[in-house]
Each structure stands twice: as C-alpha cells, then as structure tokens.
C-alpha cells in the first residue's frame, strides 16, 4: 500500500538527481559518475505488463560507457514478494539500458532495514543479491551546518533515518537552515517531502521548527500546511496549553495562600478559555481575602 511516507521518500530521491548522486557516492562505493548527465529512467521494468514489474524509481547517471543505473526502492515493512521482484528489476533495467545497475533500498525503520539487508539466494551458483540499504546504521548524524550544506542530499535522507535519534531536534534544525542555501522552489519541496516521510513526534517536531523559522522558502511551505490545517492545529494546541497553565496558576495561588478551593470554583477556573480573564483572576488571587473576591 502506498502511504504518504512512502511517497515522500520517493520524491526526495528524485527531486534533484545531483543531490541524490552526492548522497549515493557518500554512502556507497558505487561507480556513479562524479558529474555529467543524469535523468530519470522509466520505473516500468517489464515489457509485457508494466504493473507486474514496476520499481519505485529508476535513475540513469552518465553517458556512453560510463552509464550506471540506480533503482531506488522505499521499504517500510517486510514484503517477501520483493525478494523475487528485486532481481528482476535489475535484470530488466540492465537489458533495457545496456549498462550496469544496482538496487538501493531506503528503510526508515530499523526493522525494515534488517529484513531488506538479507542475502537473496537465487539458486544459480554464485548469483546472490544483497541490496544496498540506506538506514539509521549507515547514515551520519548531521548536526553541523557546513556538513549539511556540503551534501544536502545526505543531510535530508539522514534526517529521516535518524528521526528516532536523541538529537533529532538539532538534526532537523540544521537541515532547515541548510535548505535555505539551495534554490527556494526546491527547498520548500524538500521540506514538504521530509514532512511526509516522518511520523509521530518527529513529524510534529519538524513542523514546529518550520512554523517558527523565517527563511524565505518557508513561506510557501507554511501556506501548504495551512491549507491542510496542520499549522493551525499546532497553533491551537499551543494556545490550549497556555490556557491550561494559566488556570492551574490561579488555583495554585489560592491553595498556597490557604484559601479553600471548592469543586465548583475549580470547574469555573478550568472551564474558562479566555487568557485575559485568567490573567486577571491570577492577579486578584495574589491579594484576595476570599475566593469570591477573585471573581468580583
């Protein structure tokens, strides 16, 4: 099943093939040409029925004898059908493009990475396929802006695979700064795809950073999130948190001063959703001689 996370990772791999080239060369010892032509190849790798043999993405680097193909798959969970399909992807790509090719699998979770890293024994002597896996175990933790801007493709994929790292907030902040150093149009698209590729707390942390920073590329990104109501939800959540804290402050002051806080008073305070009123009550609670004086 295609999910938002799956789609986000696929878009990251193909948005800028030069950034992807630099990322692949940094992670793997591949004969990808250092520079030169790069284009998307058709991911349909079956002549008879494209639906039967279709990879997530296929990239062709170089020209002439230097051409090298990279088939990019995103794997979130175990899928034993891929143990049979992946070799077919490579074989059909090689036959069509007449050049060497490899299989790279992006695994956002450690569980998926462990599964995808297994050797696939084809039955033919010596023909064993072992995919190249991008996962938390082989991507660096990038918390330095210079390192992130030097290889933006690596910084992006690292932020996703390292989303469970204790320093993930710093990793995200550095990447958000680094994106300001590339083309604005591509920057906000990368930011969008990173958001799609993250889940849970990591996604919330990414959106928090994006909603508070002021880089030029963030304008279009924030507009997109507003259209989906995500930033609005974050803002509303922040306000509700402030209201709850203000209500607790009123009750705590009254209790510390030894005034009796009845259940009715407690409910009246916690039910109030006006920060201005709660602030007024808090000020009065500091000097009030009775609970009634707070609401007077």
Single out the residue of 289, 287, 291, 282 nearest to residue 249, CA to CA.
282
User: Are residue 134 and residue 262 in the same domain, yes or no?
Assistant: no
Q: Give the residue from 122, 138, 154 where a domain finishes.
A: 138
CB 157 within 8 A of CB 139: yes
Which has the minimum average pLDDT: 24-28, 53-57, 239-243, 256-260?
239-243
Distance CA 106, CA 84 (A): 18
Q: Give bridge partners of residue 39 from the DSSP assignment.
A: 60
Q: Is the pLDDT of residue 3 over 90?
A: no
User: Are residue 5 and residue 134 in the same domain, yes or no?
Assistant: yes
Confidence category of residue 239, pLDDT binned at 50, 70, 90: low
Instruction: Name the token pair of 109.
Output: 């979770």
- In b/e form, how buried is each residue of 185-224, taking b as 16+ CB within 10 angstroms? eebbbbbbbbbbbbbeebbebbbebbbebebebbeebbeb
User: Are residue 134 and residue 253 in the same domain, yes or no?
Assistant: no
User: Are residue 5 and residue 133 in the same domain, yes or no?
Assistant: yes
Asked if the structure places residue 34 within a domain, the reply is: yes
| Mean confidence (pLDDT) of the chain | 87
Grouping H, G, I as helix, E, B as strand and the rest as coil, residue 87 is: helix
Asked if the structure places residue 179 within a domain, the reply is: no
Asked if the structure places residue 152 within a domain, the reply is: no
Q: Give the residue from 138, 153, 177 where a domain finishes.
A: 138
Distance CA 11, CA 2 (A): 13
Asked if the structure places residue 97 within a domain, the reply is: yes
Tell me how many domains the chain contains.
2
Asked if the structure places residue 284 within a domain, the reply is: yes
Asked if the structure places residue 236 within a domain, the reply is: no
When comparing pLDDT for 274 and 255, which is higher?
255
Q: Give the residue from 138, 170, 193 where a domain finishes.
A: 138
Asked if the structure places residue 155 within a domain, the reply is: no
| 114-147 pLDDT tens trace | 999 999 999 999 999 999 999 999 999 999 999 9
Distances (CA, A) of 222 to 115, 179, 225, 230, 232: 36, 15, 5, 9, 10
Residue range of the domain that includes 47 = 1-138
Report the predicted TM-score, pTM, of the whole model to 2 decimal places: 0.71
Asked if the structure places residue 228 within a domain, the reply is: no
């Amino acid at each position: 099943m295609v999910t938002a996370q799956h789609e986000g990772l696929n878009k990251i791999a193909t948005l800028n093939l030069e950034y992807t080239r630099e990322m692949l060369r940094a992670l793997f010892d591949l004969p990808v040409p250092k520079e030169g032509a790069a284009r998307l190849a058709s991911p349909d790798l079956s002549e008879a029925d494209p639906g039967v043999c279709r990879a997530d993405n296929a990239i062709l680097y170089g020209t002439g004898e230097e051409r090298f193909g990279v088939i990019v798959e995103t794997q979130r969970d175990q899928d034993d059908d891929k143990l049979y399909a992946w070799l077919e992807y490579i074989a059909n790509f090689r036959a069509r493009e007449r050049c060497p090719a490899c299989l790279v699998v992006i695994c956002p979770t450690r569980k998926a990475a462990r599964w995808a890293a297994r050797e696939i024994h084809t039955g033919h002597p010596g023909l064993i396929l072992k995919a190249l896996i991008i996962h938390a175990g082989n991507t660096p933790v990038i918390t330095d802006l210079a390192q992130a801007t030097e290889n933006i493709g690596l910084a992006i994929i690292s932020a996703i695979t390292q989303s469970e790292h204790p320093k993930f907030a710093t990793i995200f902040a550095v990447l958000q700064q680094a994106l300001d150093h590339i083309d604005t149009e591509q920057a906000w698209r990368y930011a969008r795809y990173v958001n799609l590729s993250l889940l849970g707390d990591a996604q919330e942390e990414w959106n928090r950073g994006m909603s508070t920073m002021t880089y030029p590329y963030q304008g279009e990104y924030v507009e997109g999130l507003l259209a989906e109501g995500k930033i609005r939800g974050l803002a509303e959540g922040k306000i509700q948190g402030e209201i709850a804290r203000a209500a607790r402050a009123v009750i705590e002051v009254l209790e510390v001063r030894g005034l009796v806080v009845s259940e009715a008073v407690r409910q009246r305070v916690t039910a109030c959703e006006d920060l201005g009123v709660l602030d007024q009550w808090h000020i009065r609670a500091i000097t009030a001689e009775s609970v009634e004086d707070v609401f007077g």
